[in-house]
Each structure stands twice: as structure tokens, then as C-alpha cells.
Amino acid sequence: MLFYQQCGLNGVGNVAIYRTKIYCDEQYILLTGVYLENYSVDAVDRKILALLQQNADISISDLAEEIGLTATPCWRRMQRLQQAGLITRKVALLDAQKLGLSMTVFVQVKAAQHDGKWLDRFARHASSFDEVVEFYRMSGEYDYLLKVMVKDMQCFDHFYKRLVNGIDLNDVTSSFAMEQIKYSTAMPLQHL
């Protein structure tokens, strides 16, 4: 059985709500995680987020200097941003061209069925391919959009055959990117 425990937290200039998921049965209680909900982002937080999106390897002292704080308050703000789920993880961004992944393909799929079992099965099937780097359920004529990165046409053909042979699909169409005009992993922050 799942219970939710909520309590208020008065932060520095912000009020947030902690929600703790507690799984329990008659024998034990397991605390599974704490995260901030309804966290209010201010101008300093926006600067931190913008700088981290450009370089997640920046040291706390350099980040603090850049935004006009000392290291400890800067570190605390980063911790709150992580607890609030605004910073979900820090990763290395790789160069697709240097890795030999020179072909980007957008694959549109029409569902063969529109029931929960098929949708779950298709989501698991399509997500299982390393070549699929992004996967969306869409509105409009096609139900799903996959962004696929491969070395060349032969690799895409191999991927395509595994995709369509693994599950019943109504229609599949692929569009090949000719040129990448813009690519960014940075989220827009102006609206915060």
C-alpha cells in the first residue's frame, strides 16, 4: 500500500512542499525518496541552471563566482534544484559525427491497435533499441515519432527490419535529415 506524507518547508525566500513516498506493509516501512514540489525559481536559480546547461563540469567555486554568491549558498541552491527535480542528472554530451553516427532518421508510426496492451508492448519494443534516442507519442496523422541515429543506410535498414518484425504496425514512414540546422540540449528558461 502506498501512502503520501506531506509537510511544509520554509526555505530562503521560497516555500516548497516535501512529498515523501512511503511504501509500507505490516512488517516494515521503506522510505523511497524525497523531492520538492512547487519549487519557486528565482533569478539566481535561473543563472545557475543556464550555466550548468552550458557546462555541468563547472566547479562550485567558479559557478558561485559567476553568479555572485559564495560557494556554500551556491551549493545549497544546486542541491535544492536537484531535489526539486529541475536538475535530473549530469551527463557527457558526445559528438555523433565523431562516433560515426552520421545518419539521423525520423520514423513515424501509425498504431495497429489503440488498446492499452498494444501501446505498452510497442513502447517497450521501440524503447529497447539503442538507435532510438528520442521517442514521442503524437497527435495528428501518425501516433508515434522516433528519432533514430545510425551509421549509414545499411544500419538503418537493419534497425527498420527489427522494428517492424517485432510488432504489428499499421504504417511506418521514415524521413532522413539532410542537415542539422540547430541542436541544443539547453532548456529555455525565460518563462521562469
Give the residue numbers spanning the domain of 31. 1-39
Tally of domains within the chain: 3
Whichever domain contains 47, its CATH number is 1.10.10.10
Report the alpha-carbon distance of residue 133 to residue 140 in Å, rounded. Answer: 22
Give the amino acid at 63.
L
SS3 readout for 90-109: CCCCCCCCCCCCCEEEEEEE
Residues 1 and 46 in one domain: no
This prediction has a pTM of 0.75
pLDDT tens track for 55-95? 999 999 999 999 999 999 999 999 999 999 999 999 999 99
- The pLDDT of residue 40 is 87
Residues 48 and 34 in one domain: no
Strands 29-37 and 132-137 come out as unpaired
For residue 6, the Cα-to-chain-centroid distance in whole angstroms is 26
Is 139 among the domain residues?
yes
